[in-house]
Amino acid sequence: EVQLQASGGGLVQAGGSLRLSCAVSGFTSDDNAIGWFRQAPGKARKGVSCISSTDDSTWYEDSVKGRFTISSDKIKKIVYLQMNSLKPEDTAEYYCAADAHYWCSRDPIHEWDYRGRGTLVTVSS
């Protein structure tokens, strides 16, 4: 059974940094993609970033480019989302999800193969 566990959220001031972690377990193949999504209060859940396990190719949503960095530790099976220069508009519940193929899909999170619980990020102004 594939399981994903997101952690690392918290309260931070604007301009600060946080690193989220997504612990992944249960995959029988190394070909998968891990994505981060977020849902702000009253808004739809949307993709933030994604990384392919095969070639480490990445994708970022425009509003986080240059501020967020996704990376993976293949030994520990953890995908990180380093978030720098945080803004109040980054406040959201952050979720990680996984697809059982190597490319980063642009599909909404409910169409991904596996989804984990969220971790709350609050950025104060």
**pLDDT tens digits along 56-90:** 999 999 999 999 999 999 888 999 999 999 999 99
Interval 14-52: pLDDT, tens: 999 999 999 999 988 778 999 999 999 999 999 999 999
Q: Which residues contact 122 (CB under 8 A, 6 or more apart)?
A: 9, 10, 11, 12, 91
Alpha carbon distance 23, 20 (integer Å): 10
Q: State the pLDDT at residue 53.
A: 86
Interval 99-110: pLDDT, tens: 998 899 888 888
Whose tokens are 């609050």? That residue is 122
Q: Within 10 A of 78 (CB to CB), how many other CB atoms are there?
A: 16
- Distance, CA of 114 to chain centre: 13
